[in-house]
Amino acid sequence: MSKREEFVASMDPITFEVIRNGFRAMCTQASRLVERVAYGPVITQGHDYSVGLLTADGRLVAHGIRDITPHMGTYEASLQCLREDIEEIRPGDVYIMNDPYRGGTHTLDVRLIRPVFVDGELFAFTVSCCHWSDMGGPVPATFNPQAIESYAEGLFLPVMRVYEKDKPVKSAMQLIKLNVRVPYERFGDMAAQYRAVRLMESRLLEYVEKYGKKTILDTFEETMNYSERIFRKEVAELADGTYEFVDYIDHDEGHPDKPRVKIHCKLIIQGDQVTFDWTGSDLAPKGPSGLTLPACLSATFDGTLHCFPHLAPLNHGVIRCIKVITQPGSACHVLPPTPMAGYCASGYEKVDTAAMCAWGLAFSKTKPERVFAGTVNLSNCCFGGFHPKTGRRYVSYTWLEGGQGARSYKDGPSFAMMLYGAGATNQPIEIHERWYPFLYTQCEAIQDSCGDGKYRGGFGIHRNFYVMGDAVNSIHGDREEVTPPGLGGGTNGGPNKLVLNKGTAEERNLGMYACNVKLKKGDHITFGSNGGGGYGNPLERDPNLVLEDVIDEFLSLKKARDVYGVAIKAVDAEALLFEIDWGQTKKLRAELAKKQPQMGFGPGEVHPYGVKVVAGDIR
């Protein structure tokens, strides 16, 4: 009998479940502390944070319920950096770092790490990570789509002590203060992170006192073993083979020709062994759209977990089951000084989507309910300036919820978060108007933005507002051109958009890579998000569901007719009285069945921008 089997046989399963869930509970409590104590709306309202509990040798055990994988998927790399760089790890110290190439994502995701000691020996680590709204650099909020070197992406922090014997290290604090905009906000965020790692330490030590050191260490191991057993069992039930999916970043902003950037996923299943090979991807972009290795690993884990949701939380048991192959110097493994601040809106989302769709191909015959189409992509929209009422500097960073992808049996949710940040939430317009010189005029669904299919994707949303003082606006987004992929004959979702002064003589499409655009008082912003991809043939959709979307004003009469082949008459549009012309609908669907889709951007179709969209398709 192996040591693992001996442990399973000897440990009381009730005690195991109590402690295993206790690990997650202590992380969740720390997450809630961050939400309540931090300063900036990105964290307190948007929940762009995560925490984690790791073993003494740096393996992930648990995280909070709503924590986001882009952070926690890199914690093991962060701990490896600490163990390599710090000669003496001492009780009462807290370390800070954001190095994207070795142990993180981009400079804005700042993590605090605290060692936990029991009986004088290193026992575990607790980690908290928050997206700081600004880390300096030439652009407010640090996202710089025009960067061609990482030196234009704010302050890089190697692993260093920021608290020593639980007292702030003044030199570290001063370094941060001198390099970031609005430092009082960032120190408020850091204080929340510090309290979070201490809270997890306190809760863990309570468990050690109650159950004993050996039992806790054993439960660390079995928590990981448990996840590994479930994952390998389910993988072994899938057909051996190679499953490939290709996705594209809209373009490389740093290249003079602005070419597409290909992300190529090759999922290889052999028995219960899983390999992701990303070496078919393009070379690293010159602009800040690629992924560091830790971020690529994280995106691969995230795309996998969405197809195995019952495995959550992510821990080392799943991580050690997945072999990831990359090519250094490629879009999935950028090297310094290649910029990468826009990773999450660009390369991360494409790796995540490609991984999910590759798993979808593997699941399509046996477990089609695990398959879903492309989802809304993150757009990092940022504003900076001085508030006209207070005279104080401000930095605003926000994103939009939008449409998630359809499944093989149901429509995609509307006005939801991107899947890889599912624990995040929107930042309410009331909070924005309170913090920033914005005056909102509209926040509603974008009609016809869904990807179409037997089951449609969710709808995007747009926020429209006036800027009430001079400011600058930057954005690093994506999927304005190559939009969230549909599957099984469904079409792609609608585009992300950022438009200045829409409907006026000064209208200007700023695109997804605008940088330091000067705004004046009274300028109007229209910020819109993707719809999710559709699943299946739109002509097979229940006409009554099409009618319902028309009544709700989510679909136009034109799209209902041209894409779904449903003829709907407006009996009294003002009173929302519509009815289906069943005879005309039957005729329309027969005609459309002989033609190519007239709207939407499905996999393999010619995109209206003139580029062939190559994507996997499940039929």
Instruction: Output the pLDDT for position 552.
Output: 96
**What is the average pLDDT across 212-221?**
96
Q: Within a domain: residue 17?
A: yes
**Separation in Å, CA 55 to CA 10, 39, 81, 127, 495:** 22, 30, 15, 11, 43
Q: Within a domain: residue 524?
A: no
Instruction: Output the pLDDT for position 607.
Output: 33
| 171 phi/psi in degrees, rounded to 5 | -65, -40
Instruction: Output the pLDDT for position 403.
Output: 96
**What is the average pLDDT across 436-464?**
96
* Residue range of the domain that includes 221: 3-229
For residue 166, name the pLDDT band (cuts at 50, 70, 90).
very high
Q: Is the torsion defined by CA of 594, 598, 602, 604 positive or negative?
A: positive
**What is the average pLDDT across 477-499?**
93
**Separation in Å, CA 314 to CA 35, 74, 301, 311:** 21, 11, 8, 7
Q: Within a domain: residue 456?
A: no
Q: Within a domain: residue 375?
A: no
**What is the average pLDDT across 209-234?**
95
**What is the average pLDDT across 317-345?**
97
Residues found in the chain: 619
Q: Is the torsion defined by CA of 270, 274, 277, 278 positive or negative?
A: positive
Q: Within a domain: residue 376?
A: no
pLDDT top residue among 423 and 110: 110
**What is the average pLDDT across 76-80?**
98
Q: Which residues contact 101 (CB under 8 A, 6 or more apart)?
A: 292, 293, 334, 335, 336
The whole-angstrom separation of Cα 595 and Cα 468 is: 49
How many CB atoms within 10 Å of residue 577? 11
Instruction: Output the pLDDT for position 489.
Output: 87
pLDDT digits (tens, 9 = 90+) for 131-146: 999 999 999 999 999 9
Instruction: Output the pLDDT for position 494.
Output: 94
How many CB atoms within 10 Å of residue 227? 24
Q: Is the torsion defined by CA of 238, 605, 284, 109 positive or negative?
A: negative
Range list of β-strands (E), 38-100? 49-55, 60-63, 94-97
Helix (H) or strand (E) holding 79: helix 75-85
For residue 358, name the pLDDT band (cuts at 50, 70, 90).
very high
For residue 185, name the pLDDT band (cuts at 50, 70, 90).
very high
pLDDT above 90 (res 3): no
Q: Within a domain: residue 263?
A: no
Copy the structure tokens of residue 490. 């469904």
| 220 phi/psi in degrees, rounded to 5 | -50, -50
Instruction: Output the pLDDT for position 10.
Output: 66
Q: Within a domain: residue 158?
A: yes
Q: Look at the chain and report how many structural domains it folds into.
A: 1
How many CB atoms within 10 Å of residue 279? 12
pLDDT digits (tens, 9 = 90+) for 362-371: 998 888 888 8
Average pLDDT across the chain, whole number: 92
Q: Within a domain: residue 319?
A: no
Helix axes 293-307, 349-363, angle to 10 degrees: 40
Contact 336, 101 (CB under 8 A): yes
**What is the average pLDDT across 25-52?**
96
CA angle 296, 302, 308 (to 5 degrees): 140
